[in-house]
Structure 1
Amino acid sequence: MTVSPTQRGHGAPRPDNMTHVQLTWIEKRVEHWIRFGRIAKDEIVDRRRRIVSFRPGAIFAFVRWAANDFGTVSSRIDVVRAVSAGEPFTTLPFVLPGGDILLTIEGWPKVSQVLSHIDAVDYAGVDPCDTAPDHWRHVHNRIAAGHQPRAYTMERHRAWLKRREIEG
């Protein structure tokens, strides 16, 4: 659900204008972690929880996994662009206020496929948080349709950097 900042329901704008993500780690039960992204602030809440914050425009991957006595009950990965004050955004659990969701995949086989794709981007010599946002949308659409996403090459990355430079 995309909402405008005035519809957000969280009161006043965030004083630090950052996007905050609550991470939880309860061994073999609930594991939330950041796969990539430039963390601007990291606050330890207690021994199982912390809050990481991202500046507007930062792109990060947020992984959520949960299990019970019988095995995995939920696994999900979201690639999100942190929004500036006044920008519309989509709400997302554990992310305040929300963000521009570039990719959202559920189910361990598909999540694993996304994690492998992130590794391939790393291997190509590109930091995944610097990858073109449109590429993450492409990865989402291809995996959701049951197809293999195109590789993100250094050539594609250079084209993205030039496009960003022109757009200004």
Structure 2
Amino acid sequence: MTRLPVSLQKLDPNGLTHVELTWIEKRIEHWIRFGRVAKDQIIDRRRRIVSFRPGAIFAFVRWAANDYGTIMSRVDVVRAVAANEPFTTLPFVRPGGEILLSIQGWPKVSKVLAAIDTTDAAGVDPCDAAPDHWRHVHNRITAGQEPRAYTLERHRAWLKRRKAEG
């Protein structure tokens, strides 16, 4: 992944970040686990492009298999960037985004999906959770440890901090 200045990438005139999703059953599956989609464009029965406004946080899951089983699984939690912000490139994401979490390998990916479910169960939409929480989940899972759950109390503290930084 390469971090490029905005001037070196072609940006959407509306400032949207586009994610190409593919679904070829039991072969290639790219999907959004959470996020507020601003625009949804169907290309054909197997492909579509979803778009996110600057600042939106979303989880992008990629999985691929062959005749012998899973060959790749990955989850990225990304913040869509505004036109003046630097970003990191990511396959199938144009132009790229701020990567908050990037995990590979099904055992670790399933732990991330469980952390997303836990956040949801706490009554917080995962796309509204503090960006630092997704960095925490990335670091803990990468280190082989269990991440702390995102609670409603943590979320309220994040909202107060964001308001104070205003």
TM-score (ref. length: structure 1):
0.97
| CA-CA distance at 1:7 after TM superposition | 2.4
Identify unmatched segments of 5+ residues in structure 2: none
Q: After the TM superposition, which parts of structure 1 deviate over 4 Å for at least 4 consecutive aligned residues?
A: none
Q: Which residue in 2 is equivalent to 1:7?
A: 8
Q: For 1:86 and 1:126, how far apart are their aligned partners in 2?
A: 29
C-alpha distance in structure 1 between counterparts of 2:150 and 2:72, whole Å: 28
TM-aligned CA deviation for residue 14 of structure 1? 1.6
Give 1:4's aligned amino acid. Answer: P
Question: Which residue of structure 2 aligns with residue 88 of structure 1?
Answer: 86
Cα deviations across residues 9-42 of structure 1 (Å, max 9, x unaligned)? x3xx321100000000000000000000000000
SS of structure 2 residue aligned to 1:164: helix
**Separation in structure 1 between the aligned mates of residue 14 and residue 44 of structure 2, nearest angstrom:** 22
Q: How does 1:59-78 map to 2 (within 5 A)?
A: 59-78=57-76
Aligned to 1:104: 102
Aligned to 1:152, which of 133, 150, 153? 150
The normalised TM-score by structure 2 is 0.98
C-alpha distance after superposition, 1:117-144 (max 9, x if no partner) = 1000000000000000000000000000
1:124 aligns with 2:122: yes
Q: For 1:150 and 1:132, locate their aligned partners in 2 and report how far apart those are by CA, in whole Å.
A: 13
AA of the residue aligned to 1:3 = L
What secondary structure, in the 3-state scheme, does the structure 1 residue paired with 2:127 have? helix
**Amino acid in the other structure paired with 1:107:** G
Report % sequence identity.
Answer: 75
Kindly provide the amino acid, as one letter, of the partner of residue 86 in structure 2.
P
In structure 1, what is the Cα distance between the partners aligned to 2:12 and 2:85? Answer: 12
What's the RMSD between the two structures over aligned residues? Answer: 0.6
- The code of the aligned residue for 2:58 comes to F
Structure 2 letter corresponding to 1:108: W
CA distance in 2 between partners of 1:77 and 1:108 (Å): 9
- Cα distance per residue 1:93-120 (max 9 Å; x no partner): 0000000000000000000000001000
Deviation at 1:86?
A: 1.4
Distance 1:102 1:2 in 2: 14
What is the DSSP-based 3-state SS (H/G/I as helix, E as strand, rest coil) of the residue aligned with 2:137? helix
Instruction: Report the number of matched residues.
Output: 165
